[in-house]
Amino acid sequence: MNNLTKETQKTLIYILIAFTFSVLMRMIWLYQFQDMEAFKHAGQFMINTNDGYYWAEGARDILSGISQKNDLSPINSAVSQLTAFFAFILPFSFESVILFMPVFLSSLLVIPIVLIARVLNNLEMGFIAALLASITWSYYNRTMVGYYDTDMLNIVLPMFLLWSMIGAIQTNEKKYLIIAALDILIYRWWYPQSYSLEFSFFGLILVYTLIFERKNIYSYKLLAIMLFAMIGLDDLTRLGLVLVSFYIFTQKKYDKYVYYIFTSAIVLFFVSGGFSPIWAQLKGYIFSREAIVADEGLKLHFFAVIQTIREAGHIPFETFANRISGHSVTFVISILGYLFLAYRHRIMLLALPMVGLGFLASVGGLRFTIYAVPILALGIAFLITQIAQNMPTKKLKYLSMVAFTLMVLYPNYQHIESYKVPTVLNSNEVTGLSLLKEKAQREDYTIAWWDYGYPIRYYSDVKTLADGGKHAGDVNFPVSFMLTSPQEEAARLARLDVEYTEKNFESNRSYSNIEQMTKDYGFSDTNDFLFSLQTYIELPSKTRDIYFYLPYNMLNIYPTVRKFSNMNLMNGEKQKEPFYFISRNFREIKDKIQLGQNIFINKKDLSLEMNGKRVATRRFVKTSYNEDKKFYKDIKLLDFGAGLSIIYMSAYNTFLVLDEKSYNSLYIQLMVLEEYNKEFFEPVVANPFLKIYKLKI
Ligand code: MN
């Protein structure tokens, strides 16, 4: 008994130290940016992941009790609910809660790691692995302070499940049955896509049972209770089934019914469509890469977001290894360590789905690497403890453990120190959005590229057309068209798309707004409809106000934004790439200004020199702000026959070289030049980082 207590004490101390270590390492970012006022809002640092604003919007709406139909606010999501709960009971600001939730929740990872090691009677291994996994490269990146997203529990929860399954099989203790089932329920609530991982764990236990434990009734209890937690019924029903079956499983007199219960669990699993999410996921994976073409009607072709994201295809080995272990050498040794660990403790083969999911990163994208982190950390920690055990003296034993642990931790510490990610928005942008919140109604729309959708909804409580979860080709097309077309056309399409989007919440048609507009205005060719926007057309009646969100930093993604509408929707043909060049690294050399490798401005006549050839300049524009932050521009018309214009944004040290189409686009005219058509637009916010205009039609 005394021994056990000592072991428990040691377990608690290891968990506490590792947890504190994990939390402190996540404070480095805050320390580095403590004087960075642009990263702060309302006296607190802002978050650094776009998607976080989605959950924040949901939590805000839960707390205020205000949410509208069709506002896309995730008030039913686990992340938002848990956040609202913390913000409600804790004495900290909402801003602080979302900033620090990832720090504390992700650090819980150390608990299942130490507990797994305890089941394997090697606590030191757990301690070392916990220190390492909690700060390993990719795990850190996705759970650092301000990385407010589902990742903060996405590894913690399956690790608890792994611990309970290992404990269950090793000890056959009843408590592990209920822990495993409850963990599955929580994990699914937190992250509905968790299904495949749960299912693989289940499959492994099934195989294990059929091979080694066919006669052991406990294994069937474990399988049945896991299935009840996983079947395709709502949360409460599954919780009920889990609790009832757990009660039955703890009563010896009911043991004769276990096989019937197991069989009915399987039947219920298939009947309730338990397998269909896996099928849907497989289908989604196979088909999502295709460009989207509607099957019926005009068969319009849209540009898919996936086409702009660099194909995961080939990830260099070093990147992959760094993400999983912090260093290539650590990575290779960790794999050997895991194999050795699985050889010594067969039960660790149960961790294979997590390792497999981590390795899926090489085809499915780097975000998967975090799944392999804790398992490979256990692998190398096991090796370290084995080496230490073979040391001749006790002193050498501890010395080697400390030395090797520091060696594997160090590259990850270095990474943390150098990983200086900025916040999603800067304080000037948020000031603008706060102003918008005061002016706009909840039902109004703000038009912006999808990247800005969630933050806008959070700070201004308005609606958006596109966001981090709603950016299919047909949703992006009109937004891209508005931002990159002349003001009149953009204004008309804005009114149309907002009203059509609202109407579609009721009608739920399966094809795009653009297709419906084309038909409603009596065209059979979408190009003709888009062309008609250049002149007066009768617009649907106005049900709400519309704003345009135009941040300075959209300059960098303008060419990407343009891609989504720079195509013929009727046949999918891409149109000519626009000329759009930004230079922030220019330098003066004698009578020229060098903007890029092969592009210069001749100071004398302001003409361009590209690849050694002189190109006439249509306009040379200089914009600036005076001391009162008042905007000025000076436009020199140089050669009306020329195609390219130069804009020197002196306040930003930025040169732009643009063709006529880009120059005349809404974004350049309204954001860069503040040259708005008063018939259609009215400025609402105009600071150097952000311009917001209200649509007047
Ligand atoms: Mn709202």
**Quick one: which H or E segment has residue 159?**
helix 156-171
Q: If you measure from the C-alpha of residue 304 to the centroid of ligand 1, how many angstroms do you get, rounded to a whole number?
A: 27
Lowest-confidence segment of 70-79, 501-510, 640-649, 687-696 by average pLDDT:
501-510
Say which residues have a Cβ less than 8 Å from residue 139's Cβ, sequence separation at least 6: 106, 109, 133, 155, 370, 373, 374
Instruction: Give residue 281's pLDDT.
Output: 64
pLDDT band at 294; cut points 50, 70, 90: low
Q: In the numeric block, which tokens belong to residue 600?
A: 């210069």
Q: If you measure from the C-alpha of residue 66 to the centroid of ligand 1, how many angstroms do you get, rounded to a whole number?
A: 7
Lowest-confidence segment of 105-114, 298-307, 450-459 by average pLDDT:
298-307
pLDDT band at 290; cut points 50, 70, 90: very low
Instruction: Give residue 628's pLDDT.
Output: 85
Q: If you measure from the C-alpha of residue 467 to the centroid of ligand 1, how many angstroms do you get, rounded to a whole number?
A: 14
Q: If you measure from the C-alpha of residue 465 to the centroid of ligand 1, how many angstroms do you get, rounded to a whole number?
A: 13
Average pLDDT over the chain reads 93
Contact 408, 326 (CB under 8 A): yes
Q: If you measure from the C-alpha of residue 82 to the centroid of ligand 1, how many angstroms do you get, rounded to a whole number?
A: 19
Instruction: Give residue 311's pLDDT.
Output: 44
Instruction: Give residue 303's pLDDT.
Output: 84
pLDDT band at 232; cut points 50, 70, 90: confident
**Exposed/middle/buried for residue 401 (C-beta within 10 Å: 0-12, 13-18, 19+):** buried
Q: If you measure from the C-alpha of residue 56 to the centroid of ligand 1, how many angstroms do you get, rounded to a whole number?
A: 11
- Give percent helix, percent strand, percent coil of the chain, each to the nearest 5: 60, 10, 30
What percentage of the chain exceeds 70 in pLDDT?
95
Summarised one tens digit per residue, pLDDT across range 418-445 is 999 999 999 999 999 999 999 999 999 9
Instruction: Give residue 629's pLDDT.
Output: 84
Q: If you measure from the C-alpha of residue 70 to the centroid of ligand 1, how many angstroms do you get, rounded to a whole number?
A: 9
Contact 123, 24 (CB under 8 A): no
Q: How far apart are CA 314 and CA 361, in angstroms?
A: 10
What percentage of the chain exceeds 90 in pLDDT?
85
> What's the Cα-to-Cα distance from 451 to each of 57, 206, 491, rounded to whole Å?
15, 43, 21
The full 3-state SS of 136-155, as one line of letters, equals CHHHHHCCCCCCCCCHHHHC
Residue 130's nearest CA partner among 410, 340, 381 is 381
> What's the Cα-to-Cα distance from 58 to each of 454, 455, 462, rounded to whole Å?
10, 12, 13
Instruction: Give residue 200's pLDDT.
Output: 93
Contact 663, 521 (CB under 8 A): no
Q: If you measure from the C-alpha of residue 538 to the centroid of ligand 1, how many angstroms do you get, rounded to a whole number?
A: 29
Lowest-confidence segment of 152-161, 216-225, 291-300, 388-397 by average pLDDT:
291-300
Q: If you measure from the C-alpha of residue 668 to the centroid of ligand 1, how many angstroms do you get, rounded to a whole number?
A: 29
Q: If you measure from the C-alpha of residue 80 to the centroid of ligand 1, how many angstroms do you get, rounded to a whole number?
A: 14
DSSP annotation of 543 reads -
Q: In the numeric block, which tokens belong to residue 685?
A: 């916010």
Q: How far apart are CA 257 and CA 248, in angstroms?
A: 9
Contact 599, 657 (CB under 8 A): yes
The answer on pLDDT for 297 being more than 80 is no
Q: In the numeric block, which tokens belong to residue 550?
A: 């135009």
Question: How many CA atoms are closer than 13 Å to the CA of 129, on its beta-carbon side?
Answer: 33
Q: State the CB neighbour count (10 A cutoff) for residue 396.
A: 12
Summarised one tens digit per residue, pLDDT across range 344-382 is 999 999 999 999 999 887 776 788 899 999 999 999 999
Average pLDDT on 313-342 reads: 93
Global pTM exceeds 0.75: yes
Instruction: Give residue 293's pLDDT.
Output: 52
**Beta bridge partner(s), residue 581:** 657
The answer on pLDDT for 657 being more than 80 is yes
Dihedral over Cα of 231, 233, 235, 237: its sign: negative
Contact 672, 623 (CB under 8 A): yes
Q: Which residue has the tokens 């289940």?
A: 202
Instruction: Give residue 263's pLDDT.
Output: 94
Q: If you measure from the C-alpha of residue 461 to the centroid of ligand 1, how many angstroms do you get, rounded to a whole number?
A: 5
Q: How far apart are CA 518 and CA 106, in angstroms?
A: 49
The answer on pLDDT for 61 being more than 50 is yes
Summarised one tens digit per residue, pLDDT across range 520-549 is 999 999 999 999 999 999 999 999 999 999
Q: How far apart are CA 154 and CA 191, in angstroms?
A: 7
Instruction: Give residue 367's pLDDT.
Output: 82
Instruction: Give residue 512's pLDDT.
Output: 92
Q: If you measure from the C-alpha of residue 553 to the centroid of ligand 1, how many angstroms do you get, rounded to a whole number?
A: 25
Average pLDDT on 298-317 reads: 70
The answer on pLDDT for 296 being more than 70 is no
Q: Which CATH number is associated with domain 427-563?
A: 3.40.1380.40
The answer on pLDDT for 299 being more than 80 is yes
The answer on pLDDT for 667 being more than 60 is yes
Q: How far apart are CA 19 and CA 458, in angstroms?
A: 31
Q: If you measure from the C-alpha of residue 68 to the centroid of ligand 1, how many angstroms do you get, rounded to a whole number?
A: 6
**Exposed/middle/buried for residue 63 (C-beta within 10 Å: 0-12, 13-18, 19+):** middle
| Domains of the chain, residue spans | 6-292+306-418, 427-563, 580-695
Q: How far apart are CA 342 and CA 208, in angstroms?
A: 14
Strands (E), 3-89: 40-41, 44-45
Average pLDDT on 287-308 reads: 64
Average pLDDT on 121-127 reads: 97
Q: If you measure from the C-alpha of residue 442 to the centroid of ligand 1, how many angstroms do you get, rounded to a whole number?
A: 6
pLDDT band at 315; cut points 50, 70, 90: confident
Q: If you measure from the C-alpha of residue 57 to the centroid of ligand 1, how many angstroms do you get, rounded to a whole number?
A: 8
Instruction: Give residue 284's pLDDT.
Output: 58
Output phi, psi for 655, to 5 deg: -105, 140
Residue 192's nearest CA partner among 136, 238, 242, 225 is 238
Q: In the numeric block, which tokens belong to residue 188?
A: 């699914």
Contact 368, 361 (CB under 8 A): yes
- 3-state DSSP call for residue 166? helix
The answer on pLDDT for 179 being more than 80 is yes
Long-range pairs of 359-365 with CB within 8 A, sequence gap ≥ 24: 361/312, 361/315, 361/320, 361/323, 361/324, 362/312, 362/315, 362/320, 363/312, 364/285, 364/312, 365/312
Average pLDDT on 281-291 reads: 54
The answer on pLDDT for 308 being more than 60 is no
The answer on pLDDT for 661 being more than 90 is yes
Q: If you measure from the C-alpha of residue 60 to the centroid of ligand 1, how many angstroms do you get, rounded to a whole number?
A: 9
Q: How far apart are CA 594 and CA 592, in angstroms?
A: 6
**Exposed/middle/buried for residue 547 (C-beta within 10 Å: 0-12, 13-18, 19+):** buried
Instruction: Give residue 507's pLDDT.
Output: 85
Contact 167, 176 (CB under 8 A): yes
Q: In the numeric block, which tokens belong to residue 552?
A: 């300075």
Summarised one tens digit per residue, pLDDT across range 469-482 is 999 999 999 999 99
Instruction: Give residue 291's pLDDT.
Output: 47
Q: If you measure from the C-alpha of residue 77 to the centroid of ligand 1, how many angstroms do you get, rounded to a whole number?
A: 15
**Quick one: which H or E segment has residue 207?**
helix 195-212
DSSP annotation of 524 reads S
Instruction: Give residue 312's pLDDT.
Output: 47
**Beta bridge partner(s), residue 655:** 583, 648
Q: In the numeric block, which tokens belong to residue 1?
A: 């008994």
Q: If you measure from the C-alpha of residue 548 to the centroid of ligand 1, how many angstroms do you get, rounded to a whole number?
A: 17
Long-range pairs of 80-85 with CB within 8 A, sequence gap ≥ 24: 80/55, 80/56, 83/55, 83/56, 83/58, 83/59, 84/58, 84/59
Q: Is 644 left (phi over 0), alpha (psi -120 to 50) or beta?
A: beta
Q: If you measure from the C-alpha of residue 272 to the centroid of ligand 1, how many angstroms do you get, rounded to a whole number?
A: 34
